Chain A
Amino acid sequence: GNSVTQMEGPVTLSEEAFLTINCTYTATGYPSLFWYVQYPGEGLQLLLKATKADDKGSNKGFEATYRKETTSFHLEKGSVQVSDSAVYFCALSKGGSQGNLIFGKGTKLSVKP
């Protein structure tokens, strides 16, 4: 079946450090891939997405590239800020009749000043 695996947290970084959160997926065909962010006490917000192989999604300094050959969609940011502290979820959707989101378990990021 379809599934998403992302790196276990928590991840603790100093401000201005480089961030990578790994995400791999299992799915037939060509799913759409997403990163969602959840700030403390809030709902999930769409951070970025990619809908086909080699697409790069980007937003707020975060980037992720859809790699079909490695079935991956790793999230990166060159210089994190304290305000980036949140839980990050990788997800996939196959669209159409299988269009519900399938989530990874989330990775908690803490950024220290």
Chain B
Amino acid sequence: NAGVTQTPKFQVLKTGQSMTLQCAQDMNHEYMSWYRQDPGMGLRLIHYSVGAGITDQGEVPNGYNVSRSTTEDFPLRLLSAAPSQTSVYFCASTLSRGGGYTFGSGTRLTVV
């Protein structure tokens, strides 16, 4: 099915470990974004990309890296996990940024 695919769905990390959250879309969307969702905070933008090879920081970028080598993939890397990064992470994509985004089903990350 066309859409945004995120893996893994659940992950537990120890403080200081690194990992990559995967995001792939098959809709040929240029724009992709990563959000984190925390209770009472809504969704906050971490990083975004307006096309292959182009990325930029959002509202809460510290502790995260991204790259966009292809149109389809937009992985999010946690460099050294901290308990404050415990959250649900969503990847989203859109063809036109004035239009609606398609969201993945999320990755629930716990850092202990």
Contact = CB atoms under 8 A, between A and B. Distances in A.
A96 interface: yes
A96 B35 CA distance: 19
B43 A99 contact: no
Interface in B55-100: 58, 90, 92, 96-100
Interface string A29-52: 000101010000011111001010
Interface in B8-56: 31, 33, 35, 40-45, 48
A89 B35 CA distance: 14
B38 to A, nearest CB: 10
Contacts of A32: 98-99
B97 A93 contact: yes
A34 B61 CA distance: 24
Given A43-B90, A89-B42, A103-B42, A49 B99 contact: yes
Contacts of B96: 95
Interface string A93-113: 111100111111110000000
Contacts of B45: 100-102
Nearest to A101: B101
Given A32-B98, A43-B105, A43-B106, A105 B48 contact: no
A42 B40 contact: no
Given A43-B103, A44-B90, A100-B58, A93 B42 contact: no
Nearest to A104: B42
Contacts of B104: 43
B107 to A, nearest CB: 10
B103 A45 contact: yes
A29 to B, nearest CB: 12
A95 B98 contact: yes
7 contacts: A49-B99, A49-B100, A95-B98, A99-B31, A100-B48, A101-B45, A106-B42
Interface of A: 32, 34, 36, 42-46, 49, 51, 89, 93-96, 99-106
